[in-house]
Amino acid sequence: MAKTVETIQPVERIRGRVRVPGSKSVTHRALMLAALARGESEILDALRAEDTELTARALEHLGVTVAWDDRRVLVHPPASRWEPSPEAIHLGNSGTSMRLLLGIAAAGKGDFVFDGTPRLRERPVGPVIDALRRLGVRAAYLGREGYPPVQLQSDGLTGGSVWVDARESSQFVSALVMAASAARSDVEVCWEGKAASLPYLHLTVEMMRRVGLRADWIGSNGIMVPGRQEVRGFRYRVEGDCSSASYFWAAAALTGGEVFTYPLTADALQGDCRFLAVLEAMGCTVVWEEEGVRVVGPERLRPVDLGMNDMPDMVPTLAVLAAFAPGTTRIRNVAHLRIKESDRIRAVAEELAKLAVPVDELPDGLVISGGGVKGAVVEAHDDHRIAMAFAVAGLKVPGISIAGAETVSKSFPKFWEVFRKLSHG
């Protein structure tokens, strides 16, 4: 895909309503849980974007039938888990697809190779592979140890207890927990310390519960999953994507405007909905209504000092807002951002520097001195979160363009259309 440039036009105040797409995180998991079910499942309001289509196509390689219809998708698993896949299953730069699908593939029988882009080959999978090996799966790295491409040879999961290093991603645990429901005996998955992006592990467990699968917490650092569980095909409605909504919340925050995003509920499962509390700390007013949430921006943003381990994807958005908040903002405890679609700590620091924002890059975060921003061409680094977050800055400062704007297709294909409509009234 050719690199495109999107030039942002400043506005005085953003005002409007935005229907956000379905949650990417929820759609991934719903597709995979449906693949483990017996019989056809219907997933409503599913996100159809680059990453979720990569997951769907990978499941098709395993013999699953996936049929999209507007915001609905029908998923019909094969008679036996799984059908042979003679070719490598390519997952682009979708780390979620790679990590979760390693577990799903291992839940059945077959010989599979999972690969992706050069950047995906730099994103670790070692912790989930180590655990799968202890559960009876044969696995081989076809390149660098601990990274894709990976070959799996599985006869199903045996069961037992495994420890996982989840400091870089809770997805390693989510992969095992979902797959463990099909193991031949019970599986206990434990980890030391705090898992990165822990709310998304809670999301996985709650989604399993909602479709009829058991996964029981053992204190705060373990989950017991009974083996040999079977769930019939189900109907699941995907909640709106809080990550996608965050860019419009930020637009209201930055311009002192007002945005209503829907469909969203205050009890949404996604960890990124907690970003609303960050916006309140910066001076915004947040009001939940029946269909969604309204964010009203302040006359002046306040700096914050926060650990963002639970919602690392919100760091680029927070960093952009911090550039306009007079004073010093500190963003801490997000070292795992370096293994996302880009090295997000470095990418955010580089692009803020282009906008003449004083910024210090730390091993696990950023220190940003806000108050003055100049226009420049921002490089998206082939990262959808960088592109969408920095687009917000262009609403306030003239001369900001996003190079590589097409990367939003990864999670929000219609982002630019929605963004222009909102900013142009």
What would the DSSP string read from start to end of 15-75? EEEEEPPBPHHHHHHHHHHHHHSBS-EEEET---SHHHHHHHHHHHHTT-EEEEETTEEEE
Percent of the chain with pLDDT over 90: 96
pLDDT level of residue 188 (50, 70, 90 thresholds):
very high
- Helix/strand/coil for 418: helix
Is the CB of residue 375 less than 8 Å from the CB of residue 402?
A: no
Give residue 194's pLDDT: 87
Check whether 67 has a pLDDT greater than 90.
yes
User: How confident is the model over 226-252, as pLDDT tens digits?
Assistant: 999 999 999 999 999 999 999 999 999
Residues 6+ apart with CB under 8 A from 347: 316, 379, 381, 383, 386
Q: According to the annotation, is 171 in a ligand binding site? A: yes
Q: According to the annotation, is 25 in a ligand binding site? A: yes
For the chain, the residue count is: 425
Give residue 113's pLDDT: 97
Give residue 393's pLDDT: 98
Give residue 332's pLDDT: 97
In which residue ranges of the chain is CATH 3.65.10.10 found? 5-21+239-423, 24-237
The order of strands in the sheet holding 377-379 is 5-7, 401-403, 377-379
Lowest mean per-residue pLDDT among 51-60, 187-196, 206-215, 399-408: 187-196
b/e map 347-368, b = 16+ CB within 10 Å = bbbbbbeebebebeeeebbbbb
Q: According to the annotation, is 24 in a ligand binding site? A: yes
User: How confident is the model over 107-147, as pLDDT tens digits?
Assistant: 999 999 999 999 999 999 999 999 999 999 999 999 999 99
Give residue 70's pLDDT: 78
Give residue 423's pLDDT: 82
User: How confident is the model over 14-62, as pLDDT tens digits?
Assistant: 999 999 999 999 999 999 999 999 999 999 999 999 999 999 999 999 9
Is the CB of residue 179 less than 8 Å from the CB of residue 107?
A: yes
Give residue 19's pLDDT: 96
Check whether 224 has a pLDDT greater than 80.
yes
> How close are the terminal C-alpha atoms of the chain, in Å?
30
Give residue 56's pLDDT: 98
User: How confident is the model over 385-398, as pLDDT tens digits?
Assistant: 999 999 999 999 99
Read off the tokens for 235.
């109907």
CATH H-level superfamily of 5-21+239-423? Enolpyruvate transferase domain (3.65.10.10)
Q: According to the annotation, is 194 in a ligand binding site? A: no
Check whether 1 has a pLDDT greater than 70.
no
Q: Find the DSSP H helices in 219-343.
A: 242-255, 275-281, 315-322
Task: State the catalytic residue, choosing from 313, 343, 382, 383.
Answer: 313
Give residue 182's pLDDT: 97
* Average pLDDT, rounded, for the chain: 96
pTM of the model: 0.96
Check whether 2 has a pLDDT greater than 80.
no
Select the more confidently predicted residue: 192 or 284.
Answer: 284
Q: Which fold has domain 24-237?
A: UDP-n-acetylglucosamine1-carboxyvinyl-transferase; Chain (3.65.10)
Q: According to the annotation, is 170 in a ligand binding site? A: yes
Annotation marks residue 186 as catalytic: no
pLDDT level of residue 425 (50, 70, 90 thresholds):
low
